[in-house]
Structure 1
Amino acid sequence: MSESTTETDRTNWTVDYDVEPIRLRDPAAEALAALEPGDPIVVDYRDVVKAAGHSCPTAAGAYRIAKDGLEALYPGDELPVRGEIAVLAGDPRDDSAYGVTARLLSYITGAAGEDGFGGLADGHGGRRNLLRYGAIGADGVAVELTRTDTDETVRVTYHVEDVPAGGPATSTLPKLIDGTATDAERAAFADDWHGRVAAILNGDRYVTVERD
């Protein structure tokens, strides 16, 4: 397939986030020859924005939960493996933070509920029943990630209470929604909003990782 470079065939982002991507192996993709064995699937924050439909503190927090948690579970050059990562997210699933966070973690890790991919042949690369919801008993937005091949677990907490408040320009959001914002108001909003997101993606104090 040839790659089109026309403006209508790619996403014309107005902001660039300087954050490392997440690299994972996908056994099903390798088996079906979509990837060479051992080559990673690369997920960056822009992919998560596409899945969420927007960039916001919740999407940024979900990305950091996945990135920091997987780096702790798979140290060094070892790649995380889709189908071998279980996710336990806090209740309730319809919570504005937990529900969206769990969906984005599912997108990144492949972990899914009872309706997830069952795997090839004898379950090779399956992700079904790897995403669950339950009480974790932690402050902030807490998620447990488990390697099913070793049973190692880490608890990753996103400290939403430490997230900086939106700047004064974010008060113009209603005008951006109804299309009455000026170019200057739109630019000021973007600086405040995306500056906040960038702080979450790169700041050390927003996410902590504990081993079980």
Structure 2
Amino acid sequence: MTFPSFYDAAPRLVVRDPLSAFLGAAEGGLLDYGYADAVRLAGHSCPTVAGAYLMTVRSLEHLYPDEVPERGAVAVCVREAADEGVAGVMASVATLLTGATESTGFKGIGGRFDRRNLLSFGTDIQGAMAFVRTDTGVGVQATLDSGVVPVDPAMPGLLQRLLSHAASTDDAAQFRTLWQERVRRMLVDHADDPRLVSLAAWNGRPDA
């Protein structure tokens, strides 16, 4: 398996998962995630996957400024309905990092480690997603402005030729290069850019 080298330069996130510690899956329950994990989950790399990854990482860093974020203890709210736009893709990336699920997640052991009903869609928020600590109720909204990293002017024409089966081998190679270059700029050049991912305090309820 060979990924573009810039994946390793993207921000990483270490979380502590009490369930992982309880079952001995990882020492101390510490799990180290990178962008490649999100790509493996989604099966592809695109601005949506990169944006969801950055929004989740930055939100967890904000909610846990002086400690390791706790996986399974953060509720995730998505503004769009589950079947609208790219909501499902964004939510799946957020679930990877937070453990939050709707009704299909882990049911828990002896009343502990329940991951269900921590993910909701169609919520009344301004950002694309909101993240709320279940222990303190402190929340943050995350908004992605992918226009901060614009599409290369050559991309629309290349995409149209690819979709119409009129692209050459060189066209296809150029498309892939330009596509991933935009993702690279998001994850590396603009990883800390508050214009790309902006955060705002949110005091809403996880089940809003």
If the length of structure 2 is used for normalisation, what is the TM-score?
0.85
Matching residue's letter, 1:71: E
8 Å CA contact 1:26, 1:82 repeated in 2: yes
Alignment match, 1:80 = 69
Q: How does 1:96-111 map to 2 (within 5 A)?
A: 96-111=85-100
Q: Deviations over 1:6-44 (max 9, x none)?
A: xxxxx122443221211111111111111122x521111
Matching residue's letter, 1:75: P
Query: CA 1:144/1:188 → structure 2, altered by over 3 Å: closer, same or farther?
Result: same
Alignment match, 2:119 = 131
Q: C-alpha displacement at 1:134, in angstroms?
A: 2.7
Q: How does 1:1-212 map to 2 (within 5 A)?
A: 11-17=1-7, 18-37=9-28, 39-76=29-66, 78-123=67-112, 125-138=113-126, 142-169=128-155, 171-173=157-159, 174-175=161-162, 181-182=168-169, 184-202=170-188, 203=190, 204=193, 205-212=195-202
Query: CA 1:179/1:128 → structure 2, altered by over 3 Å: closer, same or farther?
Result: farther
Q: Deviations over 1:118-160 (max 9, x none)?
A: 112222x22110001133342xx52110011111101111123
Instruction: Tell me, in whole angstroms, the C-alpha distance in 1 between the residues paired with 2:63 and 2:172.
Output: 40
Uncovered stretches (5+) of structure 2, i.e. residues with no partner: 203-208
Q: C-alpha displacement at 1:206, in angstroms?
A: 0.8
SS of the residue corresponding to residue 16 of structure 1 reads helix
Query: CA 1:188/1:154 → structure 2, altered by over 3 Å: closer, same or farther?
Result: same
Q: C-alpha displacement at 1:47, in angstroms?
A: 0.7
SS of the residue corresponding to residue 146 of structure 1 reads strand
Matching residue's letter, 1:181: S
8 Å CA contact 1:24, 1:42 repeated in 2: yes
Instruction: Tell me, in whole angstroms, the C-alpha distance in 2 between the residues paired with 1:61 and 1:14.
Output: 17
Instruction: Tell me, in whole angstroms, the C-alpha distance in 1 between the residues paired with 2:150 and 2:71.
Output: 33
Instruction: Tell me, in whole angstroms, the C-alpha distance in 1 between the residues paired with 2:69 and 2:155.
Output: 39
Number of equivalent positions: 196
Instruction: Tell me, in whole angstroms, the C-alpha distance in 2 between the residues paired with 1:111 and 1:119.
Output: 13
Q: Deviations over 1:169-193 (max 9, x none)?
A: 56334538969632x3343223311
Instruction: Tell me, in whole angstroms, the C-alpha distance in 2 between the residues paired with 1:177 and 1:47.
Output: 32
Query: CA 1:170/1:181 → structure 2, altered by over 3 Å: closer, same or farther?
Result: farther
8 Å CA contact 1:169, 1:185 repeated in 2: no
Query: CA 1:32/1:137 → structure 2, altered by over 3 Å: closer, same or farther?
Result: closer
